[in-house]
Structure 1
Amino acid sequence: MDSAPTKLEYYTDMLKLRSSATVLSFFKVDDRRQALVLDSTVFHPQGGGQPADTGVIAVGDSELKFVVEDVRLKDGIVFHYGFVDSSAAVSESEFEKGKEVVLSVDEPRRKLNSRLHSAGHLLDICMKNVGLGHLEPGKGYHFPDGPFVEYKGTISQTDLQNKQIELEREANALISSGGKVLVAVLPYGDASDLCGGSLPDYIPQNSTPRILKFGDNPGCPCGGTHVDDISEIISMKVSRIRTKKGMTKVLYNVE
């Protein structure tokens, strides 16, 4: 597909839930689903351990609504997958190239996903605070059906239960204290300084990473959506810590 990269509205404003955009293409995917490609979007695509936003895309004041069920990012282009609301007695040609549309993200889903994703980053901070800083963050899964963060390294079986209690206590103490959550796209050197002096190897040195910062704690690179203040996580339950094959997995949920 010959299109410019999609402008990511949520990238600079994580709290934004409504925006306008221009249709670039609209096509059929299978017998049920269709896809919309726009010049910009406020919808967060699935990725980085975070599920996709859902919601609706409308043509101005028209009754025609495109129901967004899934969102994916490929080669810089965001694809909105879903279907045209069958109750609308309006031609689907209204989604032709050049049309102006209004995007509305499902707010409860976005807020839950942002809380879960933020809680995963908060765990990274708490791991260091309870003496587990030697474990390197690996994969994160911040979906409602079973969120977890996986770390490279292990801890002894005798420490698992004690650390689980300490970790949950530390997380909820930080949540109670609160603190602004900030994001900024920065030159590599500034981003590195904000993250404690280094960045992961996968980030190119000539890039401008997006950095997430929880209160006064060191920042970290992340492209997802998050809460505006740590207190919005409300509370966290660390349901289990397990260690196997050189990895430690911390399972959690927000309540």
Structure 2
Amino acid sequence: MATAAAPARAVGPTRLAYFDDMWALRSHATVLDVHQEESGRQAVVLDATVFHPQGGGQPADKGIISAGGARFLVEDVRTKDGVVYHYGRFEGHLLDICTNNVGLSHLEPGKCYHFPDGAFVEYKGVIPPDQIQDKQNELEREANKLILEGAKVLVSVFPYEEAAKLCGGSLPSYISKDSTPRVVRFGDYPGCPCGGTHVADISVINNLKVTNIRVKKGLTKVSYSISP
């Protein structure tokens, strides 16, 4: 049974909107918290939800939480102490490729957040303080170079071993070896396992600005914004 970690900030009980209308497939809500748990799963907490959590003999609902042009694919829903946790994935594939291209291949992608109000990708590993500004500039230049060149985004399901090869030789430990992972890739770059939604071609991103790089406690947080 999955367990839910406490949100990064205190939140009250989630209002169960499906009690008001059990046929509702859409609703408006406020995002209260986004965090990554020890298991590696990412969770979104809303003030109200139409997603029914697993329990009482009923499976969890699945769907999409969207804000602006960003989407969070909900793959599982659980509840603890009155708070509903929507589990799914965000991915920062373009930035992941750029970190490798500018000599930061030691950084391992971790927590990420792609809503317009403060998008970032967090990596395990650090950048030396005297290199942060240079790497920030290099990342931004590399991202916009790739965007300008453009590349179709390819999404396919593969047997585990083939998926691992496409993703640089290995897959995250939370992906079962009995599964057929969904891999997202563009150009000749390594792919990434992801169940989320993506642009059809990276050229539609138009422009990316790396707004800040922060290194703390063995983690590097790369914040960014995009132009429509």
TM tier relative to shorter chain: 0.5 to 0.7
2:112 corresponding residue in structure 1:
140
Question: Counterparts of 1:1-255 in structure 2 under 5 Å?
Answer: 29-30=16-17, 33-36=20-23, 72=51, 74=53, 77-78=60-61, 109=68, 112-113=69-70, 120-255=92-227
Question: Structure 1: where are the runs of 5+ without partners?
Answer: 1-27, 53-68, 82-104
Q: Alpha carbons of 1:35 and 1:146: their partners in 2 closer, same or farther (altered >3 Å)? A: farther
Larger Rg: 1
Structure 1 residue 193: Cα displacement: 1.6
- What is the Cα deviation at residue 71 of structure 1? 6.2
CA distance in 2, matches of 1:181, 1:207: 22
CA gap 1:155/1:77 in 2 versus in 1, 3 angstroms: same
- What CA distance in whole angstroms lies between the structure 1 residues aligned with 2:134 and 2:43? 29
Q: Matches of 2:205 and 2:113 in 1, distance apart?
A: 16
CA–CA distance in 2 between the matches of 1:50 and 1:217?
28
Task: Give the distance between the partners of 2:95 and 2:52, measured in 1 at CA.
Answer: 27
- RCO comparison, higher one (Cα < 8 Å, 6+): 1
Which amino acid in structure 2 is aligned with residue 252 of structure 1? Y
Say what the alpha-carbon RMSD is for the aligned residues: 3.5
Q: Deviations over 1:105-143 (max 9, x none)?
A: 99x94xx216xx998210000001000111111111111
User: How many residues are treated as equivalent by the alignment?
Assistant: 178
Q: Is contact 1:195–1:218 with CA below 8 Å preserved after alignment?
A: yes
Distance 2:174 2:62 in 1: 25
Calculate the TM-score normalised by the size of structure 2.
0.67
Task: In structure 2, give the amino acid aligned to 1:163.
Answer: K
The equivalent of 1:90 in structure 2 is none
1:34, CA displacement in angstroms?
Answer: 2.9
Could you state the TM-score of these two structures normalised by the residue count of structure 1?
0.60
Percent identity of the aligned residues? 53
- Residue 92 of structure 2: SS of its match in structure 1? helix
Q: How far is 1:78 from its partner?
A: 2.3
Residue type of the partner of 2:21?
Q
Q: Structure 1 CA distance, aligned partners of 2:138 and 2:118?
A: 21
| 3-state SS, counterpart of residue 61 of structure 2 | strand
Residue by residue, what CA displacement relative to the aligned partner does 1:197-255 show, whole Å, maximum 9, x if unpaired?
Answer: 21111111111111111222110101110000010111101000010111000000111
Q: Say if 1:80 and 1:230 are closer, same or farther in 2 by CA, change over 3 A.
A: closer
